[in-house]
Amino acid sequence: MNDNIISVIDAANKLGTRKQQLFKIIKRLGIATTKQKNSAHKGQAISYISNTDFDHIVNNFGQTGEDTESSSVATTSGQLDHGVFYLIQLEPDHDPGRFKLGFASNMPERLRSHRCSAPFAKILKTWPCHALWERTAIDSVTQGCEKIHTEVFRTKDISSVQERCDLFFNLMPKLDDIMR
């Protein structure tokens, strides 16, 4: 393996961000990636950047609103992991028990993207959240709900899901009201 390159996965880990987010930064900065097969990843081809390009990313990280999906708040370590956990009712009139949960660092933009497939979607509530809490929150608040897709569920009582969300986030460390 070439010592002058770093995998995008390792670079994202060093920066404390997700690799999807790093790919957005790489694209914005016009950095070229190369793909190489890697035995540590079951022989799959993974993307690499040069160490020089990684240094360029480090120098620009946290300065220009890297989060192209949103404009989230940077933490002191440069991570872009703050936002909101949301509860969206997808079809309020025709299927009021079908809902979507997730994390967004820009809720208006996230709702706009959901409305492509669910034009009547309605935000029921949001809670300040770290991105890392998303999976745990979803697993916690969807107990007893029918799973339809990755983050889409159906329940007989949407208000009970909202109450479980309230309970979950009341137990979590308090964050500043971010993008509420």
Which of 30-44, 76-90, 149-163 ranks highest by mean pLDDT?
Answer: 149-163
Rounded Cα–Cα distance for residues 10 and 44 (Å): 15
pLDDT band at 163 (very low <50, low <70, confident <90, very high): very high
Beta bridge partners of 168: none
Q: Check: CB of residue 81 under 8 Å from CB of residue 130.
A: yes
* Section 49-55 average pLDDT: 88
Q: What is the mean pLDDT of the chain?
A: 83
Instruction: Measure the CA–CA gap between 170 and 20, rounded to whole angstroms.
Output: 29
Q: How far apart are the first and last CA of the chain?
A: 46
Q: Is 20 helix (H, G, I), strand (E, B) or coil?
A: helix
Q: What is the pLDDT of residues 110-155, one digit of tens each?
A: 898 888 889 999 999 999 998 889 999 999 999 999 999 889 999 9
The 3 state secondary structure assigned to 79-144 is: CCCEEEEEEEEEECCCEEEEEEEEEECCHHHHHHHHCCCCCCCEEEEEEEEEHHHHHHHHHHHCCC
Residue 63 has pLDDT above 70, yes or no: no
The whole-angstrom separation of Cα 78 and Cα 175 is 17
Of 53, 66, 82, nearest to 20 by C-alpha is: 66
Distance CA 65, CA 150 (A): 28
Q: Residue 63: CA atoms inside 13 Å, Cβ hemisphere, count?
A: 7
